[in-house]
Chain A
């Protein structure tokens, strides 16, 4: 067992896997942050974690039916994501990677924008300034530098260390254990340190970078990755939503106050596949996955809440809420239209560009020349749909992404996820 897996490393945890709550003396300063939470907050944490997991399962089912090009499951990481998401302040900015659906839900992102992106309608589409939740970053670690540049701007603008909660801002960037190997992340840590930016690096160590274990990305525990750059770090139990909330809230407070950048390593586990194109059975054992399922963040909070006297009605309501969300996104996904071709020429530049104008004009005329006859791609599309409809037995599988497929929805929607 390498040092990074060792159980000897101090780790902030308030909720044990059995749902028992305790604030160890050494984490007292983080424990203070739990006093900010009301009963409603605890229930909100649970509801959001349950909703985002239901959403996640539905999205996998939609991908399996050809409705999405790809899905990126975050199952198992809801505690790290929802907790830290709520630890981020109302003026702060978030630079996610591409698996942060559980952070998105805490900041009012329309979840359909994520599905649209993974269907291939656009590359994101939500307003990163208004939501303060920036676009998903596909190139690993690239967003860490954008977050650091943004945080430099926050500092230059004087939005740090005034003590006024309406003025001070901080920035949080999410990276995975795999992304820590990218040079961009090292440079981001360095630029953050030398500029003393108001910034938190939140590493979700979910143990696997596609098929590579964390031990192949680092020999030193990741919470220590920032040490050499001057960015101190701490490890938390990422499957404890309370630890994730409290430690993020405190570190963001410290950042806003001008006490410098810091790093949080949230130890968690990717229960699902890397994406729907991945097959985890090829590289990890069932026993390992089962061991982590026993540490599930949602189950853990549920045990705690039940011990606190929260009744079955609440959990039933959350489940119903999740089903309603799943139904909604299913209907909306099926109703999604393909974008008009003009969209791909928009926004390549902010200012007029002769080549873009010329090519758009050409394509417009070219497309218009097909108006009297069915377009070749439309004809193909119709053939596929007719075949799918003609054979109700479901033996004819449509090509992925070929449009609507009416077979087996009910069964698949219950079986998605892992």
Chain B
């Protein structure tokens, strides 16, 4: 009998981390305030108590230092998992991620593997101050040598963090922070899919919505509303944004003929842009309408009282759905 457990996303990541820390003492969890406090979102709660300073420890507040020492530890045979406290704080570590971590395996002709996971709570919707609500995933998806994923539900969170730690390549693990306490069933026995596969979450035949991370529940809500109006929407959860499982997306579009890509990130040069370009290349004759992107505006993330206007909601997605249907 399959062993299911109801869990929130934050708890699911915690349980996945616990499994890997227990399995291999070379797995390390470190970052700012991750030890006794359990991180500002409590994702690592209890891990320090269970595994001690040898595997779970606080680092100085220095993101380049966190990533740079993780690289050195990986050279030594460790599998570091680093927590960056908030999306907007990753940039002091950007140089070490893009010029060092991403290129080390290539530079060393395979002598150095880089099994480093960088966990990043990202996205808006929590009423936070500046720099706490951003979606910087495109910077990393644009950098060769990195892998970038984002779970949208507890089951994926539980398995994808473990798959990311098992990967010999660096993985940016973007956690949808406004969904941390969203609960769902976790299958404790069998992983749902390989790390970089997309999944059709809701089948439909009129329009495909491709999305990932915190926008997945919004897309599902849009699909539900549309269904009441007799419009059948297929929702594809990308799960991985580098590489992207284009096969699943293109197959869906071949069926529906219409695509809307939704994310919180600004649309310009985004993951959504890449999906739109690929689908234009691979499903040109099946497309009945131009691909539309529904994203954040191309402005700095606004002050909290305006974020509801900034963030795409089900209505904004449905407005795009109406447009591709009317084309």
* Contacts from A to B (Cβ < 8 Å): 122-125, 127-129, 134-135, 139, 142, 144-154, 156-157, 183-184, 187-188, 190-191, 194, 346-351, 353-355
Determine which of A127, A148, A194, A355 lies in contact with B72 in the assembled complex, contact meaning CB atoms within 8 Å.
Answer: A148
- Cβ of B325 within 8 Å of any chain A Cβ, yes or no, is no
Tell me the chain B residues, 169-183 only, with Cβ under 8 Å from chain A. Answer: 169
A183 touches B64 (CB 8 A): yes
- Chain A residue numbers with a CB within 8 Å of B68 are 142, 144-146, 148-149, 184, 187-188
A156 touches B110 (CB 8 A): no
Interface string of B10-53 (1 = CB under 8 A from A): 00000000000000000000000000000000000000000000
B69 touches A148 (CB 8 A): yes
Complex Cα distance, B95 from A320, in Å, reads 45
A350 touches B110 (CB 8 A): yes
Closest to B245 in A: A354
- Cβ of B128 within 8 Å of any chain A Cβ, yes or no, is no
Determine which of B64, B69, B108 lies in contact with A135 in the assembled complex, contact meaning CB atoms within 8 Å.
Answer: B108
- Cβ of B113 within 8 Å of any chain A Cβ, yes or no, is yes
B65 touches A125 (CB 8 A): no
- Cβ of B5 within 8 Å of any chain A Cβ, yes or no, is no
Min CB distance B251 to A, Å, is: 15
Interface size on B, residues (CB 8 A): 41
Complex Cα distance, B103 from A122, in Å, reads 13
Min CB distance B168 to A, Å, is: 4
Closest to B59 in A: A191
Min CB distance A123 to B, Å, is: 4
A348 touches B145 (CB 8 A): yes
B168 touches A350 (CB 8 A): yes
Closest to B145 in A: A348
Which of B75-83, B212-220, B257-265 is the contact stretch?
B75-83
Min CB distance A386 to B, Å, is: 35
A191 touches B109 (CB 8 A): no
Closest to B107 in A: A123
Min CB distance A407 to B, Å, is: 34
- Chain A residue numbers with a CB within 8 Å of B113 are 350
Complex Cα distance, B302 from A270, in Å, reads 51
Are A142 and B75 CB-contacts (below 8 A) given A128-B108, A128-B111? no
Tell me the chain B residues, 235-268 only, with Cβ under 8 Å from chain A. Answer: 243
Complex Cα distance, B112 from A123, in Å, reads 13
- Cβ of B71 within 8 Å of any chain A Cβ, yes or no, is yes
- Cβ of B273 within 8 Å of any chain A Cβ, yes or no, is no
B65 touches A349 (CB 8 A): no
Closest to A147 in B: B72
Closest to B63 in A: A187
Determine which of A128, A144, A349 lies in contact with B112 in the assembled complex, contact meaning CB atoms within 8 Å.
Answer: A128
B73 touches A348 (CB 8 A): no
A347 touches B105 (CB 8 A): yes
Min CB distance A180 to B, Å, is: 15
A145 touches B71 (CB 8 A): yes
Are A150 and B76 CB-contacts (below 8 A) given A124-B108, A145-B69, A156-B54? yes
A348 touches B106 (CB 8 A): yes
B106 touches A187 (CB 8 A): no
A139 touches B168 (CB 8 A): no
- Chain B residue numbers with a CB within 8 Å of A128 are 75, 108, 111-112
- Cβ of B230 within 8 Å of any chain A Cβ, yes or no, is no
A187 touches B62 (CB 8 A): yes
Min CB distance A197 to B, Å, is: 9
- Cβ of B96 within 8 Å of any chain A Cβ, yes or no, is yes
B64 touches A187 (CB 8 A): yes
Complex Cα distance, B54 from A156, in Å, reads 7
A127 touches B110 (CB 8 A): no
A122 touches B64 (CB 8 A): no
- Chain B residue numbers with a CB within 8 Å of A142 are 68, 95-96, 99-100
Determine which of B71, B73, B76, B167 lies in contact with A351 in the assembled complex, contact meaning CB atoms within 8 Å.
Answer: B167
B107 touches A191 (CB 8 A): no
Task: List, sorted by A's number, 24 A–B pairs whose CB atoms are closer than 8 Å.
Answer: A123-B107, A123-B108, A124-B107, A128-B108, A142-B100, A145-B68, A145-B69, A145-B72, A148-B69, A149-B68, A149-B76, A150-B76, A152-B69, A153-B72, A153-B73, A157-B76, A187-B65, A191-B62, A346-B109, A347-B105, A347-B109, A350-B168, A350-B169, A355-B243
Determine which of A144, A157, A348 lies in contact with B144 in the assembled complex, contact meaning CB atoms within 8 Å.
Answer: A348
- Cβ of B70 within 8 Å of any chain A Cβ, yes or no, is yes
Complex Cα distance, B75 from A148, in Å, reads 11
- Chain B residue numbers with a CB within 8 Å of A153 are 72-73, 75-78
Complex Cα distance, B110 from A347, in Å, reads 5
B72 touches A184 (CB 8 A): no
Closest to A357 in B: B243
- Cβ of B300 within 8 Å of any chain A Cβ, yes or no, is no
- Chain B residue numbers with a CB within 8 Å of A145 are 64-65, 67-69, 71-72, 96
Min CB distance A174 to B, Å, is: 15
- Chain A residue numbers with a CB within 8 Å of B144 are 348
Complex Cα distance, B72 from A347, in Å, reads 18
Complex Cα distance, B68 from A144, in Å, reads 8
- Chain A residue numbers with a CB within 8 Å of B111 are 127-129
- Chain B residue numbers with a CB within 8 Å of A146 are 68-69, 71-72, 75, 100
Complex Cα distance, B59 from A194, in Å, reads 9
Min CB distance A362 to B, Å, is: 13
- Chain B residue numbers with a CB within 8 Å of A144 are 68
- Chain A residue numbers with a CB within 8 Å of B108 are 123-124, 128, 135, 347
Complex Cα distance, B259 from A128, in Å, reads 48
- Chain B residue numbers with a CB within 8 Å of A348 are 105-106, 144-145
Complex Cα distance, B168 from A328, in Å, reads 39
B105 touches A184 (CB 8 A): no
- Chain B residue numbers with a CB within 8 Å of A346 are 106, 109-110
A151 touches B99 (CB 8 A): no
A152 touches B145 (CB 8 A): no
Complex Cα distance, B114 from A146, in Å, reads 12
